[in-house]
Structure 1
């Protein structure tokens, strides 16, 4: 009987960890498009059914105190560290969409979709107008 209980507990724990690994929720390493260098760590969380991504670490020591000088509205001149760069994405099938992504370097705000490429890769697409006019980035899960 004890072995059955332990087996059930192990199956439950493996299921919970597998589901978590298949979620966009978590910490993700971002990369510079031009150089390919690791740029920051963004933590994606869910609030009220929407997805948000916040810069929790800047990996380049020279940019740790960077401000979002060209950002619109309430984000203008805020530190990049702590800035929400993914805002208000809703689940739509296997992806999240209908939200925005902010590029702190340029201050531009784009429409955005995110989806898992595999458990440890996140496909992030920012675009203007229609999705065909945009670009993809692949972020990697931080373990």
Structure 2
């Protein structure tokens, strides 16, 4: 009887861990920002989540050359291409469809903000902020089908 109980508990623990991992990975995939001008691919490395600029509606500047990270405060990074730029870094799944402890980079301003993300089906609420979450801005991204 003791062995049966142990096996059942072990099975439940594995099942629970697997279900939690699947829930955490619900964020994986491609998302579009509210303007529809950018697609961000969210992927996982280890147990953290990242996002990179995967598609840009207007990929070239006024001279016809690919856009670069010209607003970056680090002069060495200003010439890197905007396409493929990592915007989301180091997010951890915190349960209840929330991802925390990450940052979001805004290539339009060259600034990096603390960030929290909350997924609700095919909607992803992005909250970038300085210091505390009350001092920030939110936007809703939609999953690309």
1: CA distance, partners of 2:57 / 2:84:
13
Please tell me whether Structure 1 or Structure 2 has the larger radius of gyration of its CA atoms.
Answer: 2
Which residue matches 1:112? 115
Higher share in strand: 1
Query: Given that residues 59 and 83 in structure 2 are in contact (C-alpha distance below 8 angstroms), is that contact kept between their aligned partners in structure 1?
Result: no
TM-fit CA distance, 1:96: 0.7
Extract unaligned runs of 5+ from structure 2: 1-18
CA offsets, 1:56-114, max 9 Å, x none?
A: 10013555821111224464331110000001111112211111100010000000111
2: CA distance, partners of 1:103 / 1:30:
12
TM-fit CA distance, 1:30: 1.0
Which residue matches 1:51? 49
Query: Given that residues 66 and 80 in structure 1 are in contact (C-alpha distance below 8 angstroms), is that contact kept between their aligned partners in structure 2?
Result: yes
Which residue matches 1:34? none
Which residue matches 2:36? 38
CA offsets, 1:8-53, max 9 Å, x none?
A: xxxxxxxx9xx67x8111100013xxxxx31200000011100100
Matches within 5 A, 1:1-143: 23-31=26-34, 37-60=35-58, 62-63=60-61, 65-73=66-74, 75-94=77-96, 95-116=98-119, 118-143=120-145
Instruction: Return 43-52 or 87-96, whichever deviates more.
Output: 87-96
1: CA distance, partners of 2:133 / 2:69:
25
Question: Normalising by the residue count of structure 1, what TM-score does the alignment of the two structures yield?
Answer: 0.75
2: CA distance, partners of 1:131 / 1:75:
28
Question: Normalising by the residue count of structure 2, what TM-score does the alignment of the two structures yield?
Answer: 0.74
1: CA distance, partners of 2:130 / 2:83:
25
